[in-house]
Amino acid sequence: MAKLKIRGKDLQKLGYPRGSKVASLAINVMMKHYKKNNKGFVLSLLENIAKTPEDYESDVILAQIAREFMAPQEIEIEMLNEGAEIPLKHPTQIADYKTYGSKHIAQNAKQQMNVAMRLPIVQAGALMADAHAGYGLPIGGVVAVENAVIPYGVGMDIGCRMCLSIYDIPTDYIRHNRHQLTLNLKENTRFGQRDFDKTNPPEILDRQEFREIQTVKKLKDKAYRQFGSSGSGNHFVEFGVVEITEPNNDLGLEPKSYLALLSHSGSRGFGATIAQTYTRIAKEQCRLPREAQHLAWLSLDTEAGMEYWLAMNLAGDYASACHHEIHRKLSLALGDEPIARVENHHNFAWKETLANGKEVIVHRKGATPASKGELGVIPGSMTAPGFIVRGKGNAMSLNSASHGAGRQMSRTKAKASFTGKNMKEALRRADVKLIGGGIDEIPMAYKDIHKVMAAQADLVDVLGTFQPKIVRMDR
C-alpha cells in the first residue's frame, strides 16, 4: 500500500488557510491516525470537517481539527484585539423568542441560541424544530440583527440550498429504468474532490465581484473547478416520486404522482473560504466573550462588512447556478424538461423588515425562508419523505421554517451505533437504491421528519411530498 501523502496545497483546495495552524494540525492528525487509508478518503473526510466541523465535536480524534478550524488564528486575533471586550446583554434583557418542537431539541442547541440572543445587535430570534448544536448560532437558529452580518450566523456552506425539478413522466419509469437512472446519476454528478472537466467557464464567473473583491478574485479558479459539483456530508442528488396533494399548489400541477429530481448542496470550497476569511476579520474587529466568540459580526457600514455582503450574495448565486447545471445535465440524460421547479436556500442572510417596521438582517443558519406564499422544499432523510411547502409568513418564526429533519445524533455516534447491515436493511425496507453514502448518514441518525413537520404546522402549508428512490451521495 502506498504511503499516505498530504500536502498544504491539497488542504488549500478544501478551504484550509495556507500556512495556518489548522492545516498543520490536520496533516499531523491524518498522518498519525489515518495513514493506512487512501488519500481520496482522507481528503473527503477533511473536507467534511471544513464544511460541518460541528458534526465532529464529539469525535475523540477529529474534534481537535474541528475546534481549531472554527477558531482560526485565535491567539493572533486576541493579540491584535487591543480594544475592550464587547459585553453581552444580561440574560434577563434578551428578547423572548419562539422555539418550535422544543421537546425534540437538545439542551446544548438551546443554550447556544440563548447566547446568540444576548448579542447587543440582535433584535429578534427563533429556533426551528430541526435544531441541533453548531458553532456560534445553532443549526436551525434564526436571528435578526441591526445593520450587521455575522459570518458564522450564515454558516460555512454559504447559500446551501434545495432544488427540485418535477417531470411529466409516470413514476413507474423509475421501476422500469432504475439501472439507467443510476448510471445517469453516476455519470452526471461529482461529489467532494472530484471535479468535472469543463471547457467553457460558467456565466456566474463573469460577475464583477470576481474582479473587484480581492478575496473573491483569488477564489475564481476554485469556483471554476468545482462548478456543477456537490459537497460531501449530507449533500445529495436523487431521483424520486413527487406526490402533489394540494389542488391549489401554485405550481400549476394536477394532484397526482410525478417523477422528480432533488438536489442539496451549497457553494463548495468557494463559499467556505469566504466564510473563514471574513470570520477572521470579524473576530479582529469585534471582540466578544469566549462563549460568543464565534458570533463576531461585521457592520455593514464598514468596507469588510460590505465586501462580505457582496461575496455572500455571490456565493448564494453560485450555489444556485451549480444546482441548475446539475439539473440541466440530468434532464438532458433523461431526455425531458421539467414542468415545474421549486428551490430555496438556507445558510444565508437577507435584508427584511420586522412586524414593527424595523429593517434588519435576518440570518437563517439551517432554516428555510417561509414568507407568505413562498415555496420551498424540506427534506427528510435518504429513506424518509421530504415536503413541498408554502410559507404562511408567521412573524413569530421570522418568516422561517426548518430546513430538514435535523440530526439527532452526531456522525461519530451514528458510526458507533449502526453497521452496514443496519443501513442495508433500512434501504431495503424503503425500496431505496443508494450510491455512495456512509453510516454517518444512516436514516436513524435523523429526527422523525413527521414530528418536525407537525411542530411547524403554523409556519407552512404542505403542497406535496417527495419520496427518494435512487440516492447519490459522496464516497
Q: 110 or 16: which carries more pLDDT confidence?
A: 110
Of 250, 301, 248, 297, residue with least CA distance to 137: 297
**Range list of H helices, 71-127:** 74-80, 107-117
Q: According to the model, what pLDDT value does residue 5 have?
A: 82
Tell me the pLDDT band of 64, cut-offs 50, 70 and 90.
confident
C-alpha cell at 437: 453514502
Q: According to the model, what pLDDT value does residue 142 have?
A: 98
Mind listing the pLDDT tens digit for each residue in 66-90?
877 765 433 233 333 345 689 999 8
pLDDT at 48 over 90: no
Find the farthest-apart pair of alpha carbons in the chain and give their distance in angstroms, rounded: 67
C-alpha cell at 147: 445593520
Q: According to the model, what pLDDT value does residue 72 have?
A: 41
Rounded-to-integer distance, Cα 443 and Cα 423, Å: 8
pLDDT at 12 over 80: no
Tell me the pLDDT band of 196, cut-offs 50, 70 and 90.
low
Question: SS3 string of 182-249?
Answer: HHHHHHHCCECCCCCCCCCCCHHHHCCHHHHCHHHHCCHHHHHHHCCCECCCCCEEEEEEEEECCCCC
Rounded-to-integer distance, Cα 104 and Cα 113, Å: 15
Mind listing the pLDDT tens digit for each residue in 407-461?
999 888 999 999 999 999 999 999 999 999 999 999 999 999 999 999 999 999 9
Rounded-to-integer distance, Cα 69 and Cα 15, Å: 10
Q: According to the model, what pLDDT value does residue 6 have?
A: 85
Q: According to the model, what pLDDT value does residue 75 have?
A: 28
Mind listing the pLDDT tens digit for each residue in 136-177?
899 999 999 999 999 999 999 999 999 999 999 999 999 999
**Contacts with 22 (C-beta within 8 Å, 6 or more apart), sequence order:** 16, 65, 68, 69, 72
DSSP 56: G
**Contacts with 347 (C-beta within 8 Å, 6 or more apart), sequence order:** 154, 155, 156, 157, 158, 159, 160, 266, 364, 365, 366
